[in-house]
Amino acid sequence: MKYLYILFCFVLIGCSNNRQTSNSKADAVSNSSYFEIHDGGSDQYNSKTGSFTRLYKNGFKIYKVLLSDNEKESIDSLFKVTNFHGFPPEFAIDWKSNGEITMISPSFETSIELREKGTCKKVILDFINLNNPINHKDKALEYEKLYFEIWKRIWDKDEYKNIPKSDFEYL
């Protein structure tokens, strides 16, 4: 019993030493929140894992595209400036409007999902709908700006520039 107690103490000490502590604001941002962004077609990105996923004819392939702490902090600021939590879950066509509505196929619903402090907020927009009367058009335009600002940071990474283009075709 004495040896079991000693072993238990060593396990507790070992577990308590494995905790990572950080005073860095950027680390706090990246550990407490992350986002996923999807183009509705073949590309998606997860900032928590740094995984960029692209669809090819033979299936999905995952590549590492890591954002720096400064880039993550910058994107976090974009979420706050645009009041991402104030966006509706989906920007939909306003079918009651008197305006002309145009439908195009195929259509791709983009999405941004923000996870922070145990909550998840996902927003969906089909950019083709921006040409139609849609609900909350002003916020939809802010979403579009946020969406492309996030992708721009990913597209500017050297790791991204080395990823083969998708050979998947949409009809």
The CATH number of the domain holding residue 69 is 3.30.1560.10
Confidence of residue 5 (pLDDT cuts 50, 70, 90): very low
On the question of pLDDT at 99 being above 80, the answer is: no
Confidence of residue 92 (pLDDT cuts 50, 70, 90): confident
**Residue 5, in any domain of the structure:** no
The answer to whether residue 124 sits within a structural domain is: yes
- pLDDT at 105 (0 to 100): 73
Report CA-CA distances (Å) from 24 to 27, 48, 70, 71: 5, 17, 11, 14
Residue 7 falls inside a structural domain: no
Domain range spanning residue 84? 25-161
Please give the average per-residue pLDDT across 46-64, as a whole number: 96
Whether residue 52 is contained in a domain is answered as yes
Mean pLDDT (the chain, rounded): 83
Residue range 65-83: average pLDDT? Answer: 96
pLDDT per position as a tens digit, 9-49:
333 344 333 333 333 444 444 457 899 999 999 999 999 99
- Contact indicator for 46, 112 with CB cutoff of 8 Å: no
Residue 10 domain flag: no
Number of compact structural domains in the chain? 1
* Residue 102, in any domain of the structure: yes
The pLDDT value recorded for residue 31 is 55
Q: 118-166 pLDDT, tens per residue? A: 899 999 999 988 888 888 999 999 999 999 999 999 999 999 999 999 9
pLDDT (0 to 100) of residue 171: 67
Residue 35 domain-assigned (yes or no): yes
Q: Given a cut of 50, is residue 1 above it in pLDDT?
A: no
For the beta carbon of residue 63, count every other beta carbon within 10 angstroms: 15
The percent helix, strand, coil of the chain (3-state, each to 5) is: 40, 25, 35
Assess if residue 8 is contained within a domain. no
